[in-house]
Copies of this chain bind each other. A is one copy, B any other.
Amino acid sequence: MTVARIAVVAGDGIGTEVTAQARKVIDAVLPGVEATEYDLGATLYNRTGEVLPDSVRDELAGHDAILLGAIGDPSVPPGVLERGLLLKLRFDFDQYVNLRPSKLWPGTTSPLAGVKPGEIDMVVVREGTEGLYVGAGGVLHRDTPAEIATEESLNTRHGVERVVRDAFARAQRRDRQHLTLVHKTNVLTHAGGLWARTFAAVAAEFPDVTTEYQHIDAAAMFMVSNPQRYDVVVTDNLFGDILTDIAAAVTGGIGMAASGSVNPERAYPSTFEPVHGSAPDIAGKGIADPAAAILSGALLLEHLGHLDEARRVSEAVAAEVASRTPGAPLRTAEVGDRVAAAAAA
């Protein structure tokens, strides 16, 4: 019996290696998932010049979710795969909730002195379909002294309200029930005003959730000086991109950073992928850590309603990481085997 139809875009570099482990673990906890592989990314682009053919996009649309590894290679000009593939999926599939949990797991070490496992546990809800990511803008008089280049941030009440409401709902389901809005209302007064007013309006629906506002520069600083203070954070597309990388850094790097680009209504497939890149330098050696990819698989399971399976996978990853000897080498496939066995049990 097919319990879910998943499109697998393993991608480039270590993407294929870590995605194989995520699939192994998903299969172990949820037999009957039907997975179809799609060959997309730098390798395909360099061979054929194709990024995301319409026909492939339409096939992807027919799946319940997309499991993505890593896309990109230094040989491809900046923007080609980002705009043409990664962001195109987020926009075409209306993946407006870009979900990025950050936790300092037992067995991992924060670069911050005195911060102990368990103390950092936050989710950043990043808007995924608006802001500066829309690609609006242009260049005039290129390569002359008169050249100008513009980028436009587009923000709608519709787009802001739905992601803010999602963040409030998530905050309400968590222990601390705290939500921080991050923007730059003192400089970006137009968009900042829309975000702040929408946030205040939606807050009225969630009386249990305590709220706070921070400018992005202050938030970037607090992410370092006191990351323990955050529970759920909601912010725009670009600020979320930056903040989540700081959050990953203070929780020990992107080794454990999973993400989901989610369409909560499931009108389109959501994409789940590790935050790390294709790491060409260690690709093909079987030494990449698949933890973030497997945790992305757990987010996928959760999104599809398999909450118990998702929890077992997260716990198995946590146990695996806690049992590691710091600095000891790891084998990608062996980690996948151990997590799969533990999660299935």
Contacts and interface: CB of A to CB of B under 8 A. Distances in A.
Interface in A121-170: 132-133, 135, 137-139, 141, 143-158
Given A111-B224, A185-B79, A246-B221, A150 B155 contact: yes
Interface stretch (A189-197, A305-313, A334-342): A189-197
A23 interface: no
Interface string A246-270: 1011100110000000000000000
Contact of A148 (B135, B157, B253): B157
A81 to B, nearest CB: 8
B190 A132 contact: no
Interface residues of A, number: 67
Contacts of A315: none
A192 to B, nearest CB: 7
Contacts of A87: 187
A242 interface: yes
Contact of A245 (B78, B194, B221, B248): B221
Contacts of A133: 187
A289 to B, nearest CB: 16
A192 B157 contact: no
A48 interface: no
Contacts of A245: 217-218, 220-221
A238 interface: yes
A82 interface: yes
A148 B156 contact: yes
Contacts of A152: 137, 150-153
A194 B149 contact: yes
Nearest to A148: B156
Contact of A246 (B186, B197, B220, B238): B220
A139 B78 contact: no
A100 to B, nearest CB: 11
A24 interface: no
A210 interface: no
Contacts of A132: 153, 187-188
17 contacts: A112-B112, A112-B113, A137-B190, A138-B190, A139-B194, A143-B197, A149-B156, A151-B153, A184-B241, A218-B245, A220-B242, A220-B249, A221-B245, A222-B249, A223-B246, A224-B246, A246-B246
Interface of A: 78-79, 82-83, 87, 110-114, 132-133, 135, 137-139, 141, 143-158, 184-194, 196-197, 216-218, 220-225, 238, 241-246, 248-250, 253-254
Given A87-B187, A149-B156, A187-B241, 20 more contacts: A79-B187, A79-B192, A83-B187, A110-B113, A111-B112, A111-B113, A113-B113, A132-B188, A133-B187, A137-B153, A137-B190, A148-B156, A148-B194, A150-B152, A150-B153, A150-B154, A216-B241, A218-B245, A221-B249, A223-B246
